[in-house]
Amino acid sequence: MLHALRSILSIATVCIPGLAAADAGDPLRGQQLFSRCSGCHSVQPETKSAPSLNGVVGRKAGSVEGYAYSTALSNSGIIWTEDALDNYLAGPAKAVRGTRMTLSVPRDQDRADIIAYLKSLGGQ
Ligand code: HEC
């Protein structure tokens, strides 16, 4: 039984990218982890030293009105799907060469939780 379950899980892992590395995100844990981001980002529609992440999920990259983004991010053409966020947070400079955001979130589960939290704030 356990063996069967393991096979099903490993098949699911192979077939559903994005679920491969981490369990479904926990928004409450994500909210705590957001303390790593909140020095620069607000989740209210206000701009700190970095653009607001209010409703970021589904938003076009570089689209907060009045924020002076790097050309790299403005021209990236990225839509912040969960996968795109995961990729960016894992290594911003690698995902968007020339972006001014330097902080990365190396642990898969931490990214999943932070993204679940961002999703819980609304957006598309
Ligand atoms: C030291 C300041 C700083 C920290 C800490 C930081 N960021 Fe950023 N972030 C930025 C800056 C600056 C930009 C704009 C980058 C650009 O213009 O290239 C940005 C951009 C972003 C964007 C793109 C927003 C958009 O409107 O396109 C996302 C998403 C993001 N950060 C998520 C996060 C998350 C999640 C964390 C915490 C894990 C985090 N950031 C931590 C400075 C920071």
Tell me the percentage of the chain whose pLDDT exceeds 90: 75
Kindly give the number of the ligand 1 atom that is closest to the alpha carbon of 52. Answer: 26
Ligand 1 mean position, distance from CA 115 (Å): 13
Tell me the percentage of the chain whose pLDDT exceeds 70: 81
Which pLDDT tens digit goes with each residue over 26-85?
A: 999 999 999 999 999 999 988 889 999 999 999 999 999 999 999 999 999 999 999 999
Domains in the chain: ranges and CATH = 24-120 (1.10.760.10)
User: How far apart, in whole angstroms, are the C-alpha atoms of residue 18 and residue 15?
Assistant: 9
pLDDT(114) > 70: yes
Q: Whose CA is nearest to atom 23 of ligand 1?
A: 61
pTM here? 0.86
Please name the residue that has the structure tokens 């989740």.
43
116 lines ligand 1 (CB under 6 A): no
Q: Whose CA is nearest to atom 40 of ligand 1?
A: 37
Ligand 1 mean position, distance from CA 117 (Å): 15
User: How far apart, in whole angstroms, are the C-alpha atoms of residue 118 and residue 116?
Assistant: 6
